[in-house]
Amino acid sequence: AARAKSPAPAKRSSVKTPKKSPAPTPSKRSSSKARASSDAASTWAKDNVKPTVTAWKDVLGSIFLMTVPPFFVHILTFTLRDKTINGSWFKLVEFLGEQDIASSFGKMLPTWAEIQNGAYYVVMFGIIQLLLMWLVPGKDHYGPVAPSGHVPVYKANGVQCFVLTIVLWAVGAYLELFPAGWQYDHAPGMFAFLNMSALVLCCVLYVKGRYAPSTPDAGHSGNLIFDVFWGTELYPRFGHSIWKIGWDVKLFTNCRFGMMYWGLSGLSYAAAQYTLNGGWVSDSMVVSALLQVIYVLKFFWWEMGYMGTMDIQHDRAGFYICWGCLVWVPSLYTCHTMYLVHNPVDLGTAVTMMLLVLGIGGVYINYEADAQKQEYRRNKGHSIIWGKKAKGIVAEYTTADGATNSSHLLMSGWWGVSRHFHYLPEWMAAFAWTAPTLAVGGNLAGFTYFIFLVVLLVDRSGRDDLRCRSKYTTYWDKYCKQVPYKIMPYIY
**Can you say whether the dihedral through the CA atoms of 389, 395, 399, 404 is positive or negative?**
positive
Least-confidence region, from 39-43, 244-248, 401-405: 39-43
Contact 308, 143 (CB under 8 A): yes
Cα distance between residue 92 and residue 86, in whole Å: 9
- The pLDDT of residue 131: 98
Q: What is the 3-state secondary structure (H, E, C) of the chain?
A: CCCCCCCCCCCCCCCCCCCCCCCCCCCCCCCCCCCCCHHHCCECCHHHHCCCCCHHHHHHHHHHHHHHHHHHHHHHHHHHHCCCCCCCHHHHHHHHHCCCHHHHHHHHCCCHHHHHHHHHHHHHHHHHHHHHHHHCCCEEEECCCCCCCCCCEEEECHHHHHHHHHHHHHHHHHCCCCCCCHHHHCHHHHHHHHHHHHHHHHHHHHHHHHHCCCCCCECCCCCHHHHHHHCCECCCEECCCCCCCCEEHHHHHHHHHHHHHHHHHHHHHHHHHHHHCCCCCCHHHHHHHHHHHHHHHHHHHCHHHHCCCHHHHHCCCCHHHHHHHHHHHHHHCCHHHHHHHCCCCCCCHHHHHHHHHHHHHHHHHHHHHHHHHHHHHHCCCCCEECCEECCEEEEEEECCCCCEEEEEEECCHHHHCCCCCCHHHHHHHHHHHHHHHHHCCCCCHHHHHHHHHHHHHHHHHHHHHHHHHHHHCHHHHHHHHHCCCCCCCCCC
Binned at pLDDT 50, 70 and 90, residue 196 comes out as very high
Residue 24 pLDDT > 50, yes or no? no
- The pLDDT of residue 18: 39
Residue 414 pLDDT > 50, yes or no? yes
Range with top average pLDDT, 46-60, 121-135, 308-322:
121-135
Q: What is the pLDDT of residues 417-468, one digit of tens each?
A: 999 888 999 999 999 999 999 987 768 899 999 999 999 999 888 888 888 8
Q: What is the pTM of this model?
A: 0.85
Residue 297 pLDDT > 90, yes or no? yes
Cα distance between residue 407 and residue 258, in whole Å: 29
- The pLDDT of residue 201: 97
Binned at pLDDT 50, 70 and 90, residue 472 comes out as confident
Binned at pLDDT 50, 70 and 90, residue 346 comes out as very high
- The pLDDT of residue 186: 97
Percent of the chain at pLDDT > 70 equals: 88
Q: Collect all residues with Cβ–Cβ distance below 8 Å to 65 and sequence separation of at least 6.
A: 6, 229, 319, 320
Pairwise pLDDT comparison (136 vs 30), residue with the higher score: 136
Q: What is the pLDDT of residues 93-149, one digit of tens each?
A: 999 888 888 888 889 999 999 999 999 999 999 999 999 999 999 999 999 888 888
Cα distance between residue 212 and residue 22, in whole Å: 6
Residue 8 pLDDT > 60, yes or no? no
Q: What is the mean pLDDT of the chain?
A: 87
Pairwise pLDDT comparison (254 vs 12), residue with the higher score: 254
